[in-house]
Chain A
Amino acid sequence: MSFLAFFFIVVSLVSFVAAQLILKRAMQASRRTGFRNAQFAWKIAGGVVLMTISFFLTLGLLQRFDLSYLYPFQGLSVIFITLTAAVVLKERVNLRLAIGALLISVGIVLVSLS
């Protein structure tokens, strides 16, 4: 894998994880303040832009690599989102949830490698 391919895989993954966290924040806030709120709109827009970047980069990568080759990297998103949600969103992650997320990630990697 070239440096360029690795770079785009990382950018795609980071933008996907960041988008999920921003969208979660926006939807969480919407339960208190409703949808007619400038902050809500900005967060949703930010999340959509990041998701779009991730989508097109993935599309570009799919033209060069097999889905099974790219999937292990997508599997890592489970771990990254669980960890960052615990830190950034202060969601409670107990041992059971952490082990569950780890097993899902490892499982996805094994499914893709086989």
Chain B
Amino acid sequence: MTNNRQRQTQTRPSGFANPWLQLALSVACVLLSEFLLKRGATEVANTDSAWSWTGVNGLASPLVWWAILLIIASFISWLYVLRYIPITIAFPLSRVVDILVPLGCWIFLGELISPLRWCGIALVVIGLALVAKPIAQIEERL
């Protein structure tokens, strides 16, 4: 199984077709779409309607449509990633987006990050390092 995983990584294409680059692109699209979805959904919120649980009324917002375009782009990149990288590695790595949101708010918007949030960010970073290390070692040997 380990050999299978190494073979999967070793036969990966390079350049723009590099699955690691595609993973980064997928994360970037998801990051932007999260902000657009929240703004769009809040913009047209009508919680009185029974149908609003389905989220369909969110389609009235142009921001939601932009978010959908980004989600489609990230989805295509993600399918490509799944072709080459085991999901047990690719999916945890893709969750780097969960710390990029608060870090982005801190760096670009000057928002404060509480000690508890810093602890959470630290745990995610350690977790990402643990997941990514075996792959880094395989890449080094190439």
Contact = CB atoms under 8 A, between A and B. Distances in A.
Interface of A: 4, 8, 20-21, 23-24, 27-28, 30-31, 44, 51, 55-64, 67, 71, 74-75, 77-78, 81-82, 85-86, 89-93, 96-97, 99-114
B82 A24 contact: yes
Given A21-B87, A60-B52, A96-B130, 10 more contacts: A44-B79, A57-B53, A62-B55, A64-B52, A78-B91, A86-B88, A99-B130, A107-B98, A108-B120, A110-B116
- Main SS class of interface, B: helix
Contact of A62 (B41, B46, B54, B89): B41
Contacts, number: 171
A110 B120 contact: yes
Contacts of B134: 96-97
23 contacts: A30-B83, A31-B83, A56-B56, A59-B58, A60-B53, A62-B58, A63-B46, A63-B52, A75-B98, A78-B91, A82-B88, A82-B92, A96-B130, A100-B128, A103-B126, A105-B127, A107-B123, A110-B116, A110-B117, A110-B123, A111-B120, A111-B124, A114-B116
